[in-house]
Amino acid sequence: MAEAGRRPSSRRRPASGGKVFRGVLAARPYPAPGLTSREWARIPPRQLRLAELITVKAELRLDVLLAEDSTFYGDLFPHVVEWESDLYLEDGLHRAVQAALYQRSTMHVRIARLADDGTWLQADG
């Protein structure tokens, strides 16, 4: 049964995220972000609990995770998409798993908001 004020959704329910994430999906249920690296960089980072996130990657390469430079390239802050009141880890799974391995329950992320109809809204800030 749908919660009051929330419409029922036909999207697939994420698998359990165990004790780290809220859930795990094999693909994103929302439209692909059209944001450039520069647009992501304009979004101020904010701290978020790992347990609030649903990942959109179900598999992780251990050799990449354990590489010394695995978090060297790309944005320092993982990218999160807020859609239909859920928070999806779009980019930065390796950083999030490393944070969990170091027993950190939070990390700083950049959050972009997506309307239910797929329209990109202003960044969270």
Greater confidence (2 vs 113) lies with 113
Q: Is the pTM of this model over 0.85?
A: no
How high is the pLDDT of residue 46?
Answer: 96
Greater confidence (14 vs 92) lies with 92
User: What structural domains and CATH numbers belong to the chain?
Assistant: 15-123 (3.90.1530)
How high is the pLDDT of residue 55?
Answer: 94
- The rounded distance, in Å, linking the Cα atoms of 18 and 11 is 20
Q: Under 8 Å CB-to-CB from 78, ≥6 apart: which residues? A: 89, 90, 91, 92, 93, 95, 96, 107, 109, 110
Is residue 8 very low, low, confident or very high in pLDDT (cuts 50, 70, 90)? very low
- The rounded distance, in Å, linking the Cα atoms of 80 and 62 is 22
Greater confidence (103 vs 35) lies with 103
- The rounded distance, in Å, linking the Cα atoms of 43 and 45 is 6
The yes-or-no verdict on residue 124 having pLDDT over 80 is no
Number of residues in the chain = 125
Greater confidence (10 vs 80) lies with 80
Q: Which tens digit of pLDDT belongs to each residue from 78-100? A: 999 999 999 999 999 988 998 99
